[in-house]
C-alpha cells in the first residue's frame, strides 16, 4: 500500500514497497508516458519530477516515496502540451521514434526551471538521457529555443 501524489492527485495503490516507482506509475497508476528503458537509472527514459527535481523513477523503490512528495510525469507537465519545452520540441521536430522523448522533455523542463538560459555546457551536463535515434542535435537546439534563445 502506498499513497502517492502524482500530477496533483493523491492516489492509493496496492503494491509491494520495493516496487520501482516507474512500474507503479505505469502499472498501478496506468500512466504509460513514462518509459522503461534500462531499469538501472542509466538511460533516463523513466525521468519524472519529484519535488521539482528530475529523477530516474526506475531506481526509486515506491516505499521511499512519501505522500507529500510531489511527483509530476510527462502527462502532468502541461494540460495542453503547452509547456515551452513541448512547444520547442514540436517546432523543431525533435522526436524520431519518440520513445525516450518523455524523459528528455522532463529533463529539459527541470533544467530550464533551475537555469532559464542554459549554455551549451549546461545542456551537456544536464541532458544525459540516451536517445538511440540520435536526436541530440535537435534536443540541444530545442532547449535553447524553449529558453527563448536562438540556437547557440
Write out the residues near other proteins by the rule CB under 8 A: 16, 18-20, 23, 26-40, 42-43, 45, 73-75, 77-78, 81, 86, 89-90, 93-102, 105, 123-125, 127-140
Query: Minimum distance between the CB of residue 96 and other proteins, rounded to whole angstroms?
Result: 3
Query: In terms of CB distance, is 31 or 55 closer to other proteins?
Result: 31
Query: In terms of CB distance, is 65 or 138 closer to other proteins?
Result: 138
Which of 33, 30, 52 minimizes the C-alpha distance to 113?
Answer: 52
Query: In terms of CB distance, is 70 or 96 closer to other proteins?
Result: 96
Query: In terms of CB distance, is 43 or 60 closer to other proteins?
Result: 43
Query: Minimum distance between the CB of residue 117 and other proteins, rounded to whole angstroms?
Result: 18
Set of cell numbers at residue 47 = 525521468
Q: Which long-range contacts (CB under 8 A, 24 or more apart) does 116-121 make?
A: 116/147, 116/148, 117/147, 117/148, 117/149, 118/143, 118/144, 118/147, 119/152, 120/152
Query: Minimum distance between the CB of residue 114 and other proteins, rounded to whole angstroms?
Result: 17
**CB within 8 A of 93, min separation 6: which ones?**
138
Residue labelled with grid coordinates 502499472: 27
Query: Minimum distance between the CB of residue 52 and other proteins, rounded to whole angstroms?
Result: 19
Query: In terms of CB distance, is 68 or 113 closer to other proteins?
Result: 113
On whether the CB atoms of residues 15 and 1 are closer than 8 A, the answer is: yes
Query: Minimum distance between the CB of residue 4 and other proteins, rounded to whole angstroms?
Result: 14
Amino acid at each position: 500500500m502506498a499513497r502517492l501524489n502524482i500530477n496533483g492527485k493523491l492516489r492509493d495503490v496496492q503494491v509491494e514497497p520495493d516496487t520501482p516507482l516507474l512500474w507503479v506509475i505505469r502499472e498501478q497508476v496506468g500512466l504509460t508516458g513514462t518509459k522503461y528503458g534500462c531499469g538501472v537509472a542509466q538511460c533516463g527514459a523513466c525521468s519524472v519530477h519529484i519535488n521539482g527535481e528530475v529523477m530516474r523513477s526506475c531506481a526509486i523503490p515506491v516505499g521511499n516515496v512519501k505522500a507529500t512528495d510531489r511527483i509530476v510525469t510527462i502527462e502532468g507537465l502541461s494540460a495542453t502540451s503547452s509547456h515551452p519545452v513541448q512547444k520547442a520540441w514540436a517546432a523543431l521536430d525533435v522526436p524520431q521514434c519518440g520513445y525516450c522523448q518523455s524523459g528528455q522533455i522532463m529533463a529539459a523542463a527541470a533544467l530550464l526551471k533551475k537555469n532559464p538560459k542554459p549554455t551549451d555546457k549546461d545542456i551537456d551536463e544536464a541532458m544525459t538521457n540516451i536517445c538511440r535515434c540520435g536526436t541530440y542535435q535537435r534536443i540541444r537546439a530545442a532547449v535553447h529555443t524553449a529558453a527563448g534563445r536562438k540556437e547557440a
